[in-house]
Amino acid sequence: AQMEIPRGGTVIVSEGQQAPFQAVFNPYNPNPTRWTRMSMFEPLIVFNPVGGEPNYFLATSYTYGDDLLSLTFTLREGVLWSDGEAFNADDVVFTFNLIQQFPGLDWHGLLAFVDSVTKVDDYTVTFNLSRVYTLAHIILGRFWPLPEHQWSTVADPVTFANETPIATGPLTNVTAVNEQVLEICRNANYWGRDEAGNQLPYIDCMRQPVFLGNDPANLAAVNGEVDWIGNFMPDIDNTFVAADPENHHYFFWPGGGTVQLYVNTTKAPYSDVQFRRALSMAIDYQSVVDIGMYGYTIPANPTGLGPINEGWISQAALDAAASMGLGVFDSAAAAAVLDEAGYVDADGDGWRDQPDGTPIVFPVQVVNGWTDWVTSVQIVVESFQAIGLNASVDTPEFGQWLNNLQTGTFDVSIGWSASGLTPWDFYRAVLDSTLITAEGVANGSTWGRWVSEETDGYLTAFVATADEATQREIMNNMQMAYVTNIPAIPLFPGPTWYEWNDSRFTGFPTEDNYYTQGSPWEETFGARLLVLLRIHCVDDTSCGQG
Amino acid sequence: MAVKLVDEPRLKVRNLQVEYHTRRGIVRAVQDVSFDVYPNEVFGLAGESGCGKSTIAHAVTRILKPPAYITGGEILCNGTDILMMGTETLRRFRWEHMSIVFQSAMNALNPVLTVGEQIIDAIQAHVLTPKKQARQQALDLLQIVGIDPGRIDSYPHQLSGGMRQRAVIAIALALKPELIIMDEPTTALDVVVQKQIMQEIRQLKNKFGFSILFITHDLSLLVEFSDRIGIMYAGELVEVSPSREIFQNPRHPYTMRLMNSFPTITGPRQDMLGIPGAPPDLVSPPSGCRFHPRCSVALAGRCQEEHPLLKTVSPRHEVACHLAESEAVKHGG
Amino acid sequence: METSQPVSAPLGVPQPKPTRRVQLPDWMNSILRNRKASVGIIILTFFVLVSLFAGQLTSINPTRRVGRPHEAPSAEHILGTTRDGKDVFSQVVYGGRTTLFVGFLTGTIIIAISIVMGLTAGYMGGWVDEFLSMLTNVFLILPGIPLVIVVAGWLDRPGPATVMIVLGAISWAWGARVLRSQTLTLRNSEFVAAARVVGEPTWRIILFEILPNMVSLVVSSWIGAVQYATLALVTLEFIGLGDVNIVTWGTILFWAQNNQALLTGAWWTFIPPGICIAAIGLSLTLINYGIDEITNPRLQRS
Amino acid sequence: MAAEKVQPILEVKALSKDFVAGNVLTRRTVKAVQDATFNLYAGHVTALVGESGSGKSTIVRMIARLYQPTGGQILFKGQDVAHDRTRGRLLKYRSQVQMIFQDPFSSLNPVHRVRHNLERPLIIHKRIKRRQDMREQVHSLLRRVSLTPVEEFADKYPHQLSGGQRQRVAIARALAVEPLVILADEPVSMLDVSIRLGILNLMAQLRNEQNIAFLYVTHDIASARYFANEILVMYAGHIVEGGASEELIQNPQHPYTQLLLSAVPDPARGLRTAEVEVVGEIPSLAEVGLGCPFAARCAHVMDKCRKAMPPRTQLSETRWTRCYLYE
Amino acid sequence: MRFLARRLVFYLVALLVAIVLNFLIPRLMVGDPVQLIIARFQGRIEPSAVDAIKATFGFVQGPLHEQFFTYLSNLLQGNFGPSVMNYPVQVSQVLGASIGWTLRLVGTATILSFLIGTLLGIVAAWRRGSFVDGYVLPFLSVLGAFPYFWFALMVVYVFAFNLRWFPMSHASDISLRPDWTSWPYVSSVIEHAVLPLMTILITSVGGWMLGMRNNMIGVLSQDYIVMAQAKGLAERRVMLTYAARNAILPALTGFAMSLGFVIGGALVIEIVFSYPGVGFTLLQAVGARDYPLMQAIFLLITLAVLVANFLADVAYVLLDPRAR
Ligand SMILES: Nc1ncnc2c1ncn2[C@@H]1O[C@H](COP(=O)(O)OP(=O)(O)OP(=O)(O)O)[C@@H](O)[C@H]1O
Ligand SMILES: Nc1ncnc2c1ncn2[C@@H]1O[C@H](COP(=O)(O)OP(=O)(O)OP(=O)(O)O)[C@@H](O)[C@H]1O
Ligand SMILES: [Mg+2]
Ligand SMILES: [Mg+2]
């Protein structure tokens, strides 16, 4: 008894600054054209970043073997590739074997824990794991099966551009890809249906113009030329919203990775937990968030975990943090901590020195041109200077900055961290000492060079069990270790830019009904797929001209 | 070569005054100058650098541009006042009746056009002539001035200095004017080439019967080449006379000193004095006779206060000097 | 195709002037008498004074937050505040100081290299000249700004020093070429030959005979270089290749643009620095124009 | 003017100069001066006349050690200086051989006062014992060239001087070192007729009073007659004739000298002189071959003229020429 | 023609220098492109996958001279390799699209600016003190003092955003299919080019005008101009054939040389107008350490400037017989 949902229309998308498009529709390319992943190519299962519930796409269920060393997916029946061929287990098996054959395709890092794949029947496959790894279903779930009938003839899938893609997703028909615009239209064979049995998606096409800077992208958004937006916009209420309060909306869910201040824990005085504690207490978090981040996020939780892991946060850890004064702006208290630990101005130059008299001078590194971070760091440095620490802002170029962090040639720096459906991803990225190699940090954000058997132990234990209670206990301990040791100083969870214009299309996630992360650029958790399948024209006339 | 002075003059300059308005003040470059040029005559104008010779030449052709202003006088060519002509009349008049050869041929030719084009330009600007015919005329003109007509398509830089000067003369002759003004046409050239060109000019003059207003500071050349000579000093004409007369019997103290300033190759080898001092600044010229500060025979009061006017002292010989009448001059100098 | 020296120096014996040595050099006098140049000098002096007395003009630290974000101009904040609450007026004043300083220093570096290259090539002649001229011409032809972008990206820390080095290293060619040809002319002039006959050593000839005659050319090339450097600096900073941490007119614009000053209506962060840059550019143009007029009197109108 | 022809103070022997003109692709050699031989004597003026581009300045500049000769010798007081580049000896030479340039408007540096121009040679050549003498010395130099009042002139800049005054400053500069030889490269050709004589007379006075040897370069043969004891005629890089000046002018021997003299305008010779027949123009020095450079324009040209330059033929004690007609 | 031959030799040398610079500069940069690609995953990528990426790009790190010869031989084959940012798309393909837009925009703007500036300069010199000389010239000089980008932003804000007279971004209407034979497309291209073109024109025309005016004034005082006027030639002929043709010669060299600068200036304009040109691509390539792309762009710009210079030389030879 639902109202007929209007169909058709071209939704116009903007992600802020965007490089000109090239026709690279190989999802296993390091950097394929936008909308290749999670709209053209579908995963097996993705877990909603908001709430974490599974959304089944090419699989309909998954089960671990009793020994946790195998993972079986039941595949969806009746799915057709965009060229009309049927999708089945052979495609999944083929794709994994292809990855094994060409490790250059292994973006998900599957080979680190998957040994082989077995086809059970046409719609069942079993992955045989090389070790117990209870996050396997999340990672394997994101893996994109390729059409065997097309890719089996591809000589080198690593360098294959795949200009005419064959995929199962809702948008597969590329109608324009050039230096100015990308336009992809619906897959006539798409399997998805809404409750009323209507074929999905409702929209005909997605069009993303190239904006070479944030500025033109924002002007276009303010002008109402775009429908689905992932731009950073300063002063958004007075510009974007004010231009059309009725239809222009935004919601910057702070569900991104936590931005932290990393200190090089191998060097004095940063190796001293009291010093780090003082730093944490000295920072004016509210100003950082309000000024540096335009008020678009919230101060971070001392455990480092953001809203995406809300359900995991341990009250005990929070209490411990509170008793230490962490994450609360209090210059006087911070100064007192430093005084007590012996960091006083020994040489009378107005700045504090180390207990042995060595002057403390440290630049806080931040990438040149990342203006929100630069402003944040400026405020952080002001806070540090206020308690007598000789800090300054240093803005190397991105490449240089990254290199400094990877090789440990820095004292203090702002930096990102990973986030995932469980806190494991965050702590793994920040603390896993196996990621620190002689040449530098392999990957992740273990820039603080924190080495501890305790935390390493929690990380391995967590993925070795599938029992949620055990996992929660491990994570509680982990959080406690984080707040007592302060290996990094969390500043704020990363906001996710997302605006929408209701005048032509509707069905976007709203603040009240935030059914998934709304940003059109979101690719990791497949949130984009969920939005794509829901949006539709407001009425029959609203998006006729597209 | 006697010139019949009974004819009406081709060019009559009367009380010409030219000023340059500069930052330093008004430069009175030409002050109350009058002279005539008769048909088939070469009238020479000489004087030190900066005395206003070129200014007269430019005034006569009316090509002076600000900051130069003609502030008085008449310039009659064949009876019509050039200064009264409208732009279009002047454009037509010029070159058909009167042309000019500039001080330096190096700069008088447009470097990016061939010699032929520049001659043809002149012809076509005045007479509606088909290109072919104009080119033929240009070839003839080159022949006349002694350039191999094969060089018609040469650019100025491909010609030697002498050839360039000839080409400029060819342009000046293009419309067979009655009067050609030549402002130091040979200063940049060697004597041998100078000689050649001067000979050719003379031949052409005899052949076509035009008059020449000839300007130079090379007195030897002037005396050898002109029929009559006007000597200028500081913007004024101080003596006008037939050339032989002025050479042998100069009457103005300045002329006398001038004639005594250049050694010759055949005359007696004697000590010469030149003229002490330097020409005056034309912004604030000396009072009275402008030459008096440098004149060794100046009369104490009179020359400083009273401005001498051109007076006829003997037939066809005019001098502007208070002493000209008195015999004292002859022994002064 | 040599043109002979015009014989048009002032004629006559000028009246002896009783003034003694405390005279300004002639060219300076002429510059001050030229209207365009003096307007340019007045504008420039104004900005130089503002930079010098920045501390007296405003007591507000340009890098401190002193107000709410994007406050409109008021008595307290004459030009309002930036998005992060800093005082725009004091930023423009202090930013001008850095911009002018770096612009002039860079211009000076550029012209110093030009002088060394140009004078060496012009005076030494021979293969030294051939080599240096070739080098000059090559640098003249290499596209400057793209090269600066590439090189600035290579140096690890952007900032005024980087820009100075990079601009200096690749922008000297124009000046070198002009100065070389002038040196060549002067070197062949008779007074240089006269100095050699008198027995002046080479270094004295270059420093005391040739260089003083190029003062107006050096000054005008220098001004051109300063203008070029200032504009290049501001442009590079604007596109994010400068150090966004320090306050210059370029970075004020960078931040204004980043905070979408025009869209949010915070024109006061965008218009004033733009006008200041234009005013400096204009003043330098006017000065050079004036110098042009002085050295080429034909350009003057009586 | 009976200058004793004793020992020449400066001897030029078979001097030649090749210039390399053009760039790498258009390289060609210009033989500016070939086989020039003559002497300068104290108190004696030797004039070098010839058309523009004939190589006069090149000879002067080689003697002034501004150009390095390609071949030949310059003997000063019997010593070859052409190939001596030691700074000390070069300075010594310069203190005895000085030069006056053609263009008084460019031979004085516009940025220096008159005083500076006179002080420098005094300082460089240590002609001054005490600093205090400097002022007096400068003034006496100015007095010698009749630039009075000296105080005033010493402080002037060149642009405040007239052409003649500038040339006087240039002469004073040359005199500052008390030279034995002065090389004057067309010292009056840029000056007005009326001023020329003043300068020529000044130089004549110096020659007479200080016994200076002059090399007087000019294209105005009449002034050479007026000022010089001996005249050398140059044509396209070669000195083609030489001799006592009056004799040479009244009785030119070389066909080129004859042509030159006939072309000089001379009112005293009587107006409307015979018209001369001249063909061609001075050849480009880059193209001169082996023979006599005047062959192409010469009315008396013979076959051998085109093959080799005629040797020097002594016509009398004071005259010589290089022409096959007189061999 | 000897002149041109000599210039050609020079251009070859210049090109060689550019090629060597081009080879060296990126190699001196810190940070390798693979690291940057990995960094984009902000820690969400497994360490084991890092090797996969490195393998994908297969960067060879031989000794420098070997690298240089590979680079040279690839260059000679016109093969710049794949772009890192757009892997595996070839650099030539990445550039193919943007170079056209830049050449069209900057080319048109530069030529127009030169022509208009020169023409105005001629008029200003010919009629000293007239409206053009007394008002237009100072006005354009003031405009020329503003930085390109500042002006561009103001223009976008006023004429595109507020007044909506012109489109704000892109080189054509993006809903139209590129088709140079269809009028709607071509007209949209023109419409989109108006603002960026005007910005370049307005800020650069004053310089040309002033230069030409001063050259022209110098030429106008030459004897041959006076003589041409005295000859009675028509004013137009004196102005154009006698005066302007001589006055334009020094400007020609400057014109060619300015191209390098204009491309730099256009870069900022491309960003402001989202004009998909090569300047923006360069900036991006530098940010992403996309060496092959950077090198290709820099070489391309250099080549364009060299070609422009050569054309200017040819024009010079055509206009000035002395250079022949
Ligand atoms: N454009 C000008 N502006 C100001 N004064 C000028 C200008 N042209 C000439 N004069 C002055 O006018 C006077 C006469 O100049 P003119 O050129 O007529 O002299 P001239 O006799 O032809 O000299 P020369 O023999 O050097 O050619 C000189 O004092 C000169 O300084
Ligand atoms: N530095 C040089 N490089 C190349 N060629 C030169 C150089 N100097 C002079 N020449 C050439 O040498 C020849 C002789 O020149 P020089 O200056 O000696 O002649 P000149 O007789 O003094 O002429 P003028 O009377 O014009 O001064 C000329 O053809 C000239 O072009
Ligand atoms: Mg004159
Ligand atoms: Mg000479």
What is the greatest pairwise CA distance in chain B?
Answer: 68
Residue to probe by mutation, ligand 1, list B19, B20, B24, B213, most atoms within 8 Å of CB: B20
Residue E5 sits at the chain D interface (C-beta within 8 Å) = yes
Using the predicted structure, report yes or no on whether residue B330 has a pLDDT greater than 60: no
Distance D293 CA to ligand 4 centre (A): 19
How many angstroms separate the CA atoms of A227 and A223, rounded?
Answer: 11
Q: E221-236 burial, b if ≥16 CB within 10 A, otherwise e? A: ebbbbbbbbbbbbeee
Q: Is the pLDDT of residue D3 over 60?
A: no
Chain E: give the shortest CA distance to residue D202, in Å: 37
B279/C302 touch (CB, cutoff 8 Å), yes or no: no
- What was the pLDDT predicted at B61? 87
Contacting partners of chain B (3+ CB pairs under 8 A): C, D, E
Which residues in C lie closer than 8 A to residue A400 (C-beta atoms)? 156-157
| Residue E273: inside a domain | yes
Q: Give the Cα-Cα-Cα angle D31, D35, D36 (nearest 5 degrees).
A: 105
- Under an 8 A CB cutoff, do C149 and E257 touch? no
Q: What is the C-alpha separation between E282 and E293, in angstroms, rounded?
A: 7
Neighbour tally for D85: CB within 10 Å? 10
Instruction: Report the C-alpha gap between B48 and B45 in whole angstroms.
Output: 10
Q: Which of A309-313, C79-83, C224-228, E6-10 has the lowest mean pLDDT?
A: E6-10
What's the whole-number mean pLDDT along residues B209-218?
A: 88
The residue count for chain D = 327
**Cβ pair C145:E265 closer than 8 A:** yes
In the reported structure, the alpha carbon of residue D16 is separated from the centroid of ligand 2 by a whole-number distance in angstroms of 13
Which tens digits make up the pLDDT trace of D120-164? 999 888 888 887 888 888 998 898 888 878 888 888 888 888 788
Q: What residues of C are in contact with residue E153 (Cβ under 8 Å)? A: 257, 262, 270
C163 and E CB contact within 8 Å: no
**Assigned fold of D10-326:** Rossmann fold (3.40.50)
Pocket residue to mutate for ligand 2, from D18, D54, D218, most atoms within 8 A of Cβ: D54
Per-residue pLDDT of chain A (546 residues; tens, 9 = 90+): 456 889 999 999 999 888 889 999 999 988 889 899 999 999 999 999 998 899 999 999 999 999 999 999 999 999 999 999 999 999 999 999 999 998 888 878 888 899 999 999 999 999 999 999 999 999 999 999 999 999 999 998 988 999 999 999 999 999 999 889 999 999 999 999 998 889 999 999 999 999 988 888 999 999 999 999 999 998 899 899 999 999 999 999 999 899 999 999 999 899 999 999 999 999 999 999 999 999 999 999 999 999 999 899 999 999 999 999 998 999 999 999 999 999 999 888 999 999 999 999 999 999 887 888 999 999 999 999 999 999 999 988 887 888 889 889 999 999 999 888 899 999 999 999 988 887 777 777 899 999 999 999 999 999 999 999 999 999 999 999 999 999 999 999 999 999 999 999 999 999 999 999 999 998 888 899 999 999 999 988 887 644
In a domain, E32, yes or no: no
Q: What is the mean pLDDT of residues C208-215?
A: 87
The confidence score (pLDDT) of residue A79 equals: 95
Nearest CA in chain B to C34: B23
Please report how many Cα atoms fall inside a 13 Å half-sphere around the Cα of residue C258, on the Cβ side: 24
Q: What tokens appear for E227 in the block?
A: 């003589």
Q: Is residue E155 part of a domain?
A: yes
Contacts of B54 (CB under 8 A, 6+ apart): B103, B183, B184, B215
Q: Given an 8 Å threshold on Cβ–Cβ distance, is C11 in contact with B278?
A: yes
pLDDT at position E262, please? 67
Smallest CA-to-CA distance from A22 within A218, A228, A174, A205 is with A174
Joined tokens for residue E2:
């000897």
Name the pTM for this structure.
0.84
CA angle, corner B305, sides to B303 and B311, nearest 5?
A: 55
Nearest CA in chain E to A10: E175
| Angle, alpha carbons E303-E306-E309 (nearest 5°) | 150
Task: Flag whether A touches B (3+ CB pairs, 8 A cutoff).
Answer: no
Q: Which residues contact A117 (CB under 8 A, 6 or more apart)?
A: A92, A93, A96, A97, A125, A126, A127, A128
* Contact (Cβ atoms closer than 8 angstroms) between residue A492 and residue A300: yes
Contact yes or no for C298/E218 (Cβ under 8 A): yes
Phi–psi pair at A250, nearest 5 degrees: -150, 155
Asked if C10 and B281 come within 8 Å (Cβ–Cβ), the reply is yes
- Separation of D219 CA from ligand 3 center, angstroms? 21
What are the pLDDT digits (tens) for B90-123?
Answer: 888 888 888 888 877 678 888 888 888 999 988 8
- Residue showing tokens 């059914």: A515
As a whole number of angstroms, the distance between CA B162 and CA B193 comes to 6
Nearest residue on chain E to A546, alpha-carbon basis: E175
Nearest to D264 by CA among D292, D291, D225, D303: D225
Amino acid (one-letter) located at A64? Y
Query: Of B196, B180, B221, whose CA–CA distance to B229 is shortest?
Result: B221
Domain residues for E278?
A: 92-289
Residue E52: the pLDDT is 66
Write the residue with the smallest CA distance to atom 18 of ligand 2.
Answer: D55
Distance, in Å, from the CA atom of A393 to the CA atom of A381, rounded to the nearest integer, reads: 7
Q: Distance from the CA of D61 to the center of ligand 2, in angstroms?
A: 10
For residue B160, the CA-to-ligand 3 centroid distance in Å is 22
Set of chain C residues whose Cβ sits within 8 Å of the Cβ of A371: 244, 255, 258
| pLDDT at position C93 | 92
Q: What's the distance, CA A332 to chain centroid?
A: 36
Q: Work out the minimum CA distance from D105 to partner chain E, whole angstroms.
A: 22
Beta carbons of C83 and A238 less than 8 Å apart: no
Q: Which residues of C touch D160 (CB under 8 A)?
A: 10, 14
Question: DSSP per residue over A322-351, as a string?
Answer: HHHTTTS--HHHHHHHHHHHT---SSSSSS
Any idea what the Cα angle at residue A107 is, between residues A102 and A112, rounded to 5°? 80
Q: Is the CB of D286 under 6 A from ligand 2?
A: no
Tokens 């203006």 found at: A371
8-state DSSP, B170: H
Placement of tokens 């650069």 in the chain: E204
Residues near A101 by beta carbon (within 8 Å), at least 6 away in sequence: none
Q: What is the pLDDT of residue A290?
A: 92
* Tokens 């002498």 sit on residue: B162
Cα D221 to Cα B279: distance, rounded to the nearest angstrom: 26
Q: Which amino acid is at C83?
A: R
Are the beta carbons of E321 and B121 separated by less than 8 Å?
no
In angstroms, the CA C285 to CA C36 distance is 9
Measured CA distances, E227 to A205, B75, B117, B168, E238 (Å): 72, 20, 14, 10, 10
CB contact at 8 A, C148 and E23? no
Q: pLDDT band at residue C242, thresholds of 50, 70 and 90?
A: confident
Ligand 2, residues D30, D188, D220, D285: which to mutate, most atoms within 8 A of Cβ?
Answer: D30
Q: Please return the burial class of B4, using the count of CB atoms within 10 Å of its CB with bins 0-12, 13-18 and 19+.
A: exposed
In the predicted model, what is the mean pLDDT of residues E257-274? 76
Quote the tokens at residue D182: 């002065």
- ipTM for the predicted complex comes to 0.82
CA–CA distance, E48 with E53 (Å, rounded to integer): 9
CA A84 to chain centre: 34
Which phi and psi (to 5°) does residue A391 adopt? -105, 155
- CATH of residue E275: 1.10.3720.10
**What average pLDDT does the segment B288-298 reach?**
82
- Which residues of B make CB contacts under 8 Å with D? 1, 48-49, 160, 162, 190-196, 198-199, 217-221, 223-225, 243-244, 247, 257-258, 261-267, 269, 271-276, 278-279
Strand partners, A73: A62, A125
Q: Decide whether any atom of ligand 2 lies within 6 Å of the D54 Cβ.
A: yes
Cβ pair E2:D25 closer than 8 A: yes
Predicted confidence at residue C2, as pLDDT, reads 36
Whether residue D56 has its Cβ less than 6 Å from ligand 2: yes
Give the separation between CA A455 and CA A433, rounded to whole angstroms: 9
The answer to whether A and D touch (≥3 CB pairs < 8 Å) is: no
- Going by their DSSP bridges, the two strands A505-506 and A499-501 should be labelled as unpaired
- Dist. CA D186 → ligand 4 center (Å): 7
Q: Does D167 touch chain C (CB under 8 A)?
A: no
Q: How many whole angstroms separate alpha carbon B193 and alpha carbon B187? A: 11
**Would the CB atoms of D51 and B257 count as touching at under 8 Å?**
no
> Is the Cα dihedral A359, A364, A365, A369 positive or negative?
negative
Q: What is the largest CA-CA distance in chain D?
A: 68
Mean pLDDT lowest among A182-191, A252-261, B276-285, C72-81: B276-285
Q: Is D318 helix (H, G, I), strand (E, B) or coil?
A: coil
Domains of chain C, by residue range, sit at 52-62+89-301
Residue matched to tokens 């007029």: C293
Per-residue tokens: D33: 């001066």
Strand A248-250 with A499-501, pairing: antiparallel
Q: Which amino acid is at D223?
A: S
- State which ligand 2 atom lies nearest to the alpha carbon of D285: 29
**Class level of CATH domain C52-62+89-301:** mainly alpha
Q: Do chains E and D touch (3 or more CB pairs under 8 A)?
A: yes
How many A from CA of A404 to the centre of ligand 4? 69
As to burial, measured by CB atoms within 10 angstroms (0-12 exposed, 13-18 middle, 19+ buried), residue B236 is buried
Tokens of A20: 């000109």
Hey, what are A338's tokens? Answer: 């430093």
DSSP codes, E114-180: HHHHHHHHHHHHHTTTSHIIIIIHHHHHHHHHS-HHHHHHHHIIIIIIIS-SS-SSSSS-TTSPP-T
**B160-204: pLDDT as tens digits:** 777 888 888 888 888 888 899 998 887 777 888 888 888 888 888
Q: What pLDDT, in 10s, does the model give residues D190-248? A: 777 778 888 888 889 888 988 999 999 998 888 898 889 999 999 988 999 999 988 89
Nearest to A87, CA basis, from A37, A149, A130: A149
Residue of B184, B7, B216, B193 lying closest to B102 (CA atoms): B184
Distance B22 CA to ligand 1 centre (A): 12
Residue A344's pLDDT is what?
93
Q: Which tokens sit at E89?
A: 């798309």
Residue position matching structure tokens 């230096």: A179
For residue B255, list chain D residues with Cβ-Cβ distance below 8 A. none
- Split at pLDDT 50, 70, 90, the class of D285 is low
Look at the block and give the residue holding tokens 């690609």. Answer: E37
The answer to whether E298 touches E291, Cβ cutoff 8 Å, is no
